[in-house]
Amino acid sequence: MIKSILLVGLGGAIGSILRYLSAILVSKYWNQAFPLATFIINMVGCLLIGLLIAFIEKQPGVSDNFRLLMVTGFCGGYTTYSAFAYENTSLIGSSQSLIAFAYIAASVLVGILFVWVGMYFGRLL
């Protein structure tokens, strides 16, 4: 149990740091109302989790430790729908509901599509 917790924590720490650095990079070039940094991070995370799940399904010898480290830890730390919910609340609160609803729709639809694409290509590997 301790090993599992440490693997999830390590993966989560690395994912969180990468998320933070990614957000800084995107924010350096994008200063609009649409929260592009979180959108990109969530979509990349959806694609990555699709690839990882497909890899794990295809390789039955992959350990549970790998899944804990990469899927639960890294992807869980990297993607954050809590920021997504907060940003939408802020957009709606600042009378930018149209942008909020566009963000919600795009995140859900593209996220589902990217998980599917990730799993499709992951199964081809």
Long-range CB contacts for residues 14-22, cutoff 8 Å, separation at least 24: 14/73, 14/74, 14/77, 15/73, 15/74, 15/75, 15/76, 15/77, 15/78, 15/79, 16/77, 16/78, 18/77, 18/78, 19/77, 19/78, 19/79, 19/80
Separation of first and last alpha carbons in the chain: 32
- State yes or no: 76 annotated in a binding site: yes
CB 47 within 8 A of CB 117: yes
- State yes or no: 89 annotated in a binding site: no
- Which residue type is seen at 24? I
Sign, CA torsion 49/50/53/59: negative
Binding site for Na(+), residues? Answer: 76, 79
Binding site, residues? Answer: 76, 79
